[in-house]
Chains A and B, each alone.
Chain A
Amino acid sequence: MIGRSVVRRYVAAALEAADREGVRDRLGAQLARLSPMMMASPDPARLLAHPTMPVERKLEAVAGLLLEPPVAPLRDLIVLLIDNDRIEVLCSAAEVYQQLVDEANGVVRAHVTTALPLPDDQAQRLANALGRWLGAPVVLERQVDGGTIGGIVVRVGDRWLDASLRGRLERVRTQMTAEERWGA
């Protein structure tokens, strides 16, 4: 397991290169496609870490996964990770990249999960409220999950705000299971 600070160092270098070449969004999009594939299966990582396969063949394989050639910063990042035996960095590269881009843009990204789609006006009010609380503009990533039953779950970085009905019920379950509630 590679630490987040290591991932951040590699991805930050890639972001700088992407800004120099004006491909920030394209690099973000390609990482957003590649990282989930790397997490879903160990095969791409095994292929990229293969000791005898030429680098050009590996980059062709990446292009096959992306359905387009990787931009130069991503190509350089992959070559560097292969050389340093750190190819697992790609698994969380997309999330870290987005975080770095948000930091560069001075915004905070909040991942919002609700049981029913969050209407735009309510999303805007939520973003404003979170922005005032966090002291920075907030960009919402909305997601629908019926498992929450109702209410809302917000994640900002590694901080969770669980105001869902599922969360409340789980807290009730925890209280009911606790011995002192039953006089044991």
Chain B
Amino acid sequence: MQEIFHALGLEPGVLAVNIAGFVLLVVLLKRFAFGPVGDILADRAREVQANMADAERAREMALADKRAMEEQLSSLDQRADEIVSAAERRAEEERARILQQAADESRRIVEEGERRVASAAEEARRQLRAETASMAVEVSARALREAMDEERQAALVDAFIADIERLAGGGGGPR
């Protein structure tokens, strides 16, 4: 053994001191370093596990939210379909109403136009009658004025007097 230590260049005393120092170092490390580090690592492991659990819960909540959102989206789609359908129905009704209104207005305008044309035609006929009558009367008046003389005038007055005398003879006074 001595020879081996000698061949290896080791001194047994030094080696013993080194071993003792090493053991002491291990004891010290275990006592003052490995304990707190282990605690730290254990705390860290617990924290990581808690975080993982939180993450799992968050993932589940997110999934639940996603499902709820998808259900809501589905509901919204249905509602949107209903709204679109109602809007289309109203648009169709409005279109029909506008078309009916336009047709009514068109008919009213045509009828009003026909009434105006008829009225204008009637007014034209009335004016024509009036003018024709006036012309006939004025032509007759001119002819009568030219033909009038004392003899004819006297005859007209005599006829009037005869009418009055007939009235007086009939016993009926003026009313």
Contact = CB atoms under 8 A, between A and B. Distances in A.
Nearest to B163: A163
A173 B137 contact: yes
Contacts of A182: 125, 129
Nearest to B170: A133
B144 interface: yes
A150 B165 contact: no
B136 A165 contact: no
A169 B158 contact: no
Which residue of B122, B154, B157 has the most chain A CB atoms within 10 A of its CB atom?
Answer: B157
B125 A114 contact: no
Contacts of B160: 126, 151-152, 154, 161, 163
A154 B154 CA distance: 15
A74 B39 CA distance: 147
B6 interface: no
Q: Secondary structure of the B side of the interface?
A: helix
Interface string A123-150: 0011001101111000000000010011
Nearest to A121: B154
A132 B174 contact: no
A150 to B, nearest CB: 5
A115 B148 contact: yes
A156 B133 CA distance: 31
Interface string A152-167: 1010100101010110
Given A116-B153, A149-B141, A173-B134, 5 more contacts: A150-B144, A150-B156, A161-B164, A163-B159, A173-B137
25 contacts: A115-B148, A116-B153, A122-B154, A122-B157, A125-B161, A126-B157, A126-B160, A129-B165, A132-B164, A133-B164, A133-B167, A133-B174, A146-B145, A149-B141, A151-B153, A152-B157, A152-B160, A165-B156, A166-B141, A169-B141, A172-B136, A173-B134, A173-B136, A176-B132, A177-B130
Interface of A: 114-116, 118-119, 122, 125-126, 129-130, 132-135, 146, 149-152, 154, 156, 159, 161, 163, 165-166, 169-170, 172-173, 176-177, 179, 182, 184
